[in-house]
Structure 1
Amino acid sequence: MLRISLEQWRMFIMVAEHGGFNQAAQAIYKSQSSIHNAVQKIEHSLGVKLFRVEGRKTLLTDAGELVLRRANYLLQEAARVEQVGHTLAEGIESRLRIAVDEIFPHPLLYKALENTSQQYPLLRIELMESILTGAKELLENAEADIAVSPVVQKELFNEELCQIEFVAVACPQHPLLQLGRELNLEDLKSYRQIVVRDSAHHNRHDEGWLGANQRWTVSHMRTSIDMIKQGLGFAWLPLTSILEDLTQGRLQRLPLCSGASRKVSLYLLFSDADKLGPAARTFLGELRYQSIDLPTSADL
């Protein structure tokens, strides 16, 4: 079988897109005879007829339609290979592994990821969602390149990224909200608290108020929010994750005399700044920018 070059495939595609050999020749500044020869070589090599002529129109045959789809895919893949080569030559990393604590606002994270991908479209991003010490552990075990964590490690580079406000909430029908008065921590002890489990495998930490006699422990923040909305307990939840539920009345803040809210700092962690490539640095910049002016209780 005769070998078909990428340039010959390009000429075939131009004939199909422009509806004729003469039109294709004018579009890509090639002689009409060279385009004819390229198409004839493809037809001879494949043993099929790619075009039929009806009057002044050059139309694809059924076989030509199928081959065109494959040829377009072939050229797209060839372009991607070239881009990968340029990326490697410029020292741009091909993969970025990110561990992010679940309390970081998802819309801001998605925006930072999208903006990074627009600048580095060939970058493969691996996102690992974690709780408490989980992100730090993934970084320490070399399973992540960058971590966003509420727990810092002295041996790692750490930079405060933002503060997330947690507020004590329950659904409006919860018995605690039917008492009609200001609450204290003693009032909470008789009711179920929903807490989220540390996702680390070793040296797990407990966080928050631990005084409830009843406790359900779950693995994801979203599960905790769903349970609270179902009236299954109370919890301190990140304000950024429940802002819409509060404004729509699906959740209500507990009227605690003290401790109704607390702030948790999130930190950017990585082991060696010199090893971070341009895509990683771009993502860090996007995270910093997106983290400006997070909502607080004053915005309610």
Structure 2
Amino acid sequence: MERRQLEYFVAIVEHGGFTHAAKALRVAQPSLSRAIAKLEHELGVALFHRVGRHAVLSSAGELLADRARLVLRDFDALRAAARAVGDGPVGRVDVAATSSSALEPVISIVARLRQRHPGVLVSTSSAVSAAEVVAMVAQGRCEVGVCGSAERPAGQGLVAHHLRDEEFLLVAPPGTGAGRDGVVTLRDLTGMRFVVTKPATAVRALFDRLAEAVPGLAVAAEVGDRSVVLPMVLRGIGAGLMPDGWAELALRAGAEVCRFDPPERLPQWLVHRAGKVTPATRAFLDIALPGADRATVTRT
């Protein structure tokens, strides 16, 4: 089995078929097909079912996909370890994050990492929920995950660290006059209309919980792209619930920003696989995790 065969196989899985994978890899499709046929012959199993012009993973292919990603990451770790001997940590670390976590603390971690280890490249991938973040790390699609979750993320072979408690804020259109001195209570929300994200996000879960307790709380608009919530708030469509990482941007844009009394908080977690990690990943973890937090590691 050659590394090239595994790279081709993973590319087909990631890009959804032979044609798109060949374009992404910049190789001729017949060459790609021959490499996969050779891999299937060596393994003695079919990795794909050919259904018309489409390729669907077989059960054996599904089993190999996650392991192939991990093998390729091990190859990259060996290369990066050799390069790091004289130059310090180098290489790439892939980080899965929900949108609020990608804003903070990931941005701050990347900024500090660039100052200390300029040879490390961070590539972020977006996820809708904490469950998706955990799955992306467990499957080997990313080495590190950052997400908000009321419960400590768990998964076979995963390690979870508590980073901080993220605070959710009320962001209201200019001139709303919500709350007093930048603070709102549940009573202040009575009858308000909100721009909300679709289900499965932490922000939507918070809104649904508030809606059960506050009379007249209603949805003004439901969006799939969380980046449009603030523009909608600024246009007066409704208020929004946003993590504290958005506070500065919302204030500069002219929105009203208020804290809740009592505060609405959600733990943020950093997740990675147990065992050895690449030098680039180790550098990311060293920046992200103060020494005191390492005692909170949970191995599952």
Q: TM-score, normalised by structure 2?
A: 0.53
The corresponding residue for 1:208 is 206
Partner of 2:83, secondary structure, is helix
Inter-CA distance 250–117: structure 2 relative to 1 (3 Å threshold): closer
Over the aligned positions, Cα root-mean-square deviation in angstroms equals: 4.0
1:240 to 245, 250, 253: 245
2:256 to 249, 252, 255: 252
The reply on whether 1:160 has 2:158 as its aligned counterpart is: no
Partner of 1:237, secondary structure, is strand
Structure 1: unaligned runs, 5 residues or longer = 1-82, 293-300
The corresponding residue for 1:286 is 287
Describe how 1:33-48 pairs up with structure 2 within 5 A.
none
1:169 to 164, 168, 171: 171
Q: How many positions carry a matched residue from both structures? A: 198
Partner of 2:100, secondary structure, is coil
Question: Which structure would you say has the larger Rg?
Answer: 1
The corresponding residue for 2:136 is 138
Describe how 1:1-300 pairs up with structure 2 within 5 A.
86-87=82-83, 94-104=91-101, 106=103, 109-117=106-114, 121-133=118-130, 134-151=132-149, 152-155=152-155, 156-174=158-176, 177=178, 185=186, 188=189, 190-197=191-198, 206-210=204-208, 211=211, 212-246=217-251, 248=252, 250-253=254-257, 261-272=263-274, 274-288=275-289
Inter-CA distance 198–275: structure 2 relative to 1 (3 Å threshold): farther
Structure 2: unaligned runs, 5 residues or longer = 1-78, 212-216, 294-300
In structure 1, C-alpha distance between the alignment counterparts of 2:200 and 2:124, rounded to whole Å: 15
Partner of 1:116, secondary structure, is helix
Inter-CA distance 114–205: structure 2 relative to 1 (3 Å threshold): closer
Inter-CA distance 231–150: structure 2 relative to 1 (3 Å threshold): same
**1:236 shift after superposition:** 1.7
Residue pair 1:149, 1:267 contacting (<8 A) in 2 also:
yes
**1:89 shift after superposition:** 7.2
Inter-CA distance 284–95: structure 2 relative to 1 (3 Å threshold): same
1:132-185 C-alpha deviation (Å, 9 max, x unpaired): 3232232233211100011343223111101111112211334x749xxx9765
**1:275 shift after superposition:** 2.6
Letter in 1 for 2:144: I
Higher strand fraction (1 or 2): 2
Higher helix fraction (1 or 2): 2
In structure 1, C-alpha distance between the alignment counterparts of 2:80 and 2:279, rounded to whole Å: 15
Residue pair 1:190, 1:214 contacting (<8 A) in 2 also:
no
In structure 1, C-alpha distance between the alignment counterparts of 2:109 and 2:289, rounded to whole Å: 9
Q: Percent identity?
A: 16
In structure 1, C-alpha distance between the alignment counterparts of 2:288 and 2:114, rounded to whole Å: 13
In structure 2, C-alpha distance between the alignment counterparts of 1:177 and 1:88, rounded to whole Å: 53
Q: TM-score, normalised by structure 1?
A: 0.53
**1:242 shift after superposition:** 1.7
Residue pair 1:105, 1:240 contacting (<8 A) in 2 also:
no
Letter in 2 for 1:110: I
Inter-CA distance 284–197: structure 2 relative to 1 (3 Å threshold): farther
In structure 2, C-alpha distance between the alignment counterparts of 1:150 and 1:138, rounded to whole Å: 15
